[in-house]
Structure 1
Amino acid sequence: MHGFATLEADRSPVVPQRGPSMSATPTAHARTGEITTAYTDRGEGPALLLVHGHAYDRSMWERQVEVFSSRGWRVLAPDLRGFGGSEGTAGIVYTEEFADDLAALLDHAGVVRAVVVGFSMGGQVAMELLHRHPQRVRALVVNDTVPQAEDTAGRRRRHVTADTILRTGMEEYGRAVLGKMIAEANVEAMPETAARVLAMLQSAPAEGAAAAMRGRAERRDYTDLLSGAELPVLVVVGADDPFDGGAGRRTAELVAGAELVVVDGAGHTPSMEQPEAFDAAVDAFLRRLPA
């Protein structure tokens, strides 16, 4: 299924620059395949795995780590390969590799099954984890993501974006996409949130961001996976997400019994723009899960 295979030529680990970190949480490390993954591990109880999106890192989940670890959950929040404090591999990183890294992290942590929360690209990684390691996923929360594969134009657009990232760097990329990652109105209305998002984007290693963008271009289609899923699913979408276009509703309709929550006053990142509403939706879903 993978195009652009020549980009895989160099698979040596790349140590990224350090981005924003969880201020009050020590960083743990696990050897996952050929790389070292940095992650947060807090709390006791059933496992909740939080998967960040493209050019973000695990610090996006700082509030959720605090909230859910205090409510009887063991919360794991890794930096994906090539982001935050985790090593990367140059060229291209496929969604399958991210998913296998997560399975290896669960092995390292002694976790058999987890509720998996995936944001944007992280939602696609979560669906890939369900595809490749279904026994590891107890329930699924997908936030502002789409299950469909890219068409030809979409694949080309992502590869062009990866080229641009490598040519112009993450500072310019962050400025260009900030008003899409959070609602345009929130850039001015929520300056602290906007600054946090911009800092994450601009501190992400360009090689890691480009490699993930290329891999995302080649991802599989998850619509059949979701339509046949027999596990609890929650879909969360920001009401003002410019990338959505009804995708959240259509995703929820794929899964029998899936729940859909639309968060008002949020764009692409409701967990940071409207964290109280986001956390309430996830908490209600978690409380309804069978033991």
Structure 2
Amino acid sequence: MEQAESDDGAPIGFDLVGANPRASGDPVLILPGGPCRDPVYLGDLAGLAENRPLAVVHFRGTPSTGGLSRGWWTDAADAIAVIDQLGLSTVDVIAHSAGTRVALSLATRFPERLRSLALVTPAAAWLTETPHDGAAIATRRPEPEIIEALASMNVEPADENAFQHAWRAEAAAGYARWTTAERQHAQVGSMSLAAAHAWFRDIPADAAARIQNTTLPPTLVLGGADDILSGVETVRAFATALRAELLLIDDCGHYPWIERPEPFRFELERWLTSRGAHSPRR
């Protein structure tokens, strides 16, 4: 793992993934979700690192970076520290789930540093206050695990033990299918209640309005057509508010590089290729 120094002097960890000597272009900045989930759960994003190196940020609150988030709005400065450490003027950004909030903070506060955004299965309802439609999607999934997951999602965990129990109980809702591969992936990458709470502190009351009033770089929203966690209509409204291109992958939940790796990789490689791969060095 490599390190960058943030604006307050804190060390921020990041991994450079993609040792293929044929890989070309600047690293793509990868912002994991969770929030503050150990980014090992991302793997190599269905082989995306074979063609472009990936710089995967370990946010504050993950086991490797330590500490606690200053709130996702402020943590955009940690991503800037990684971009600076890479010596890049501008970057392409791929963010997953909760990490899309940091990506949008980046685009709002540091617009000159971003070349493009790809927001994968974003946490969406908060931006437009569109009612979350995950429960309606779940009616197509009558399995007992889904019923248990929905019940758990309506209860705020009181302590770390309850949080870990809820995370396990809700795992099945993250996927369009609940086979061995999905069950195994759901166990990868730890996160904590303290880190999740810190992620949402000190967020400007007008953050959503500021984001929507910003001229974003070219933005792709990539969702799952069966994503109970993010919803579908909520993601549509999210993409519309951001004036972004929207793509929904069929038979897919919250983790498309696990569930539908081929269309996921194809669409992101198409997107990155259309943006160009090189940035002036700082």
What's the Cα RMSD here? 3.0
Query: How many residues were matched structurally?
Result: 246
Describe the SS at the equivalent of 1:41. strand
Contact persistence 2:93–2:118 (CA under 8 A): yes
Corresponding position: 1:168 with 2:161:
yes
Counterpart AA for 2:12: T
* 1:59 equivalent among 40, 44, 48: 40
Identity %: 22
- Find the partner of 1:74 among 53, 60, 70: 53
Structure 2 CA distance for aligned equivalents of residues 147 and 260 of structure 1? 16
State TM-score, norm by structure 2: 0.75
3-state DSSP of counterpart to 1:97: coil
Residue number in structure 2 paired with 1:50: 30
Measure, in 2, the Cα distance between the counterparts of 1:132 and 1:228.
Answer: 9
Instruction: Indicate the SS of the match to 1:222.
Output: helix
Report if the CA contact (8 A) 2:174-2:255 is conserved: yes
| Corresponding residue for residue 86 of structure 2 | 109
CA distance in 2, matches of 1:67, 1:123: 21
SS of match in other structure, 1:288: helix
Partner of residue 240 from structure 1, selected from 201, 226, 231: 226
Q: TM-score, normalised by structure 1?
A: 0.73
Q: 2:110 aligns with which of 133, 138, 157?
A: 133
From 29, 34, 40, give the equivalent of 2:3.
Answer: 29
Structure 1 distance, partners of 2:231, 2:53, is 30
Given that 2:226 and 2:253 are in contact with CA atoms closer than 8 Å, whether structure 1 keeps it comes out as yes
Correspondent of 2:259 among 266, 269, 273: 273
What secondary structure is seen at the aligned counterpart in 1 of 2:187?
A: helix
The one-character-per-residue Cα deviations of 1:99-134 (angstroms, maximum 9, x if unpaired) are 111011111221221111111111111001111111
For 1:282 and 1:102, the matched residues in 2 are separated by 21
Instruction: Give the CA deviation at 1:215.
Output: 3.0
Structure 1 position 290, deviation (Å): 4.9
Other-structure match for 1:88: 67
Asked whether the equivalents of residues 94 and 218 of structure 1 are also in contact (C-alpha less than 8 Å), the reply is no
Q: Which digits, 9 at most, give the CA deviation of each residue in 1:13-69, with x for residues without a partner?
A: xxxxxxxxxxxxxx22233234322211135522311111124322132222x7333
For residues 79 and 40 of structure 1, the distance between their equivalents in structure 2, rounded to whole angstroms, comes to 8
Alignment partner, residue 273 of structure 2? 287
Shift of 1:220: 4.8
Give the Cα separation in 2 of the matches to 1:45 and 1:219: 38
Q: Distance in 1 between matches of 2:127 and 2:203?
A: 8
- Does structure 1 retain, via aligned residues, the 8 Å contact 2:107–2:217? no
Q: State how far apart, in whole Å, the 1-side matches of 2:50 and 2:103 are.
A: 24
Give me the whole-angstrom Cα distance separating, in 2, the residues matched to 1:167 and 1:83.
15
Segments of 4+ moved more than 6 angstroms: 216-219
1:254 aligned onto 2:241: yes
Query: More displaced, 39-48 or 114-123?
Result: 39-48
Unaligned runs of 5+ in 1: 1-26
Shift of 1:222: 3.4
Tell whether 2:197 aligns with 1:210.
yes
